[in-house]
Amino acid sequence: MIRPRRATVTILALLAGLSALLFAPLLTYREVPSPDGEFVAIAKASLFFSLVPVMPGQVGDKPGRVTIVRKDGWPCGTVAVEMVGLVTDVRWRLEDKPRAATLVGSAAWNLDACTVDTSGW
Whole-number pLDDT of residue 102: 93
CA distances from 38 to 50, 54, 69, 86, 99 (A): 29, 34, 9, 20, 11
Whole-number pLDDT of residue 104: 82
Examine the pLDDT at 82 and tell me if it is beyond 80.
Answer: yes
Q: Give me the residue spans of the domains in the chain.
A: 25-117
pLDDT tens-digit map of 86-95: 888 899 999 9
DSSP codes, 17-83: HHHHHHTSPPEEEEEEE-TTSSEEEEEEE-HHHHHS---TT-GGGS-EEEEEEETTS-EEEEEEES-
Q: How confident is the model at residue 3 (pLDDT cuts 50, 70, 90)?
A: low
* More confident position, 56 or 112: 112
Residue type, 86: L
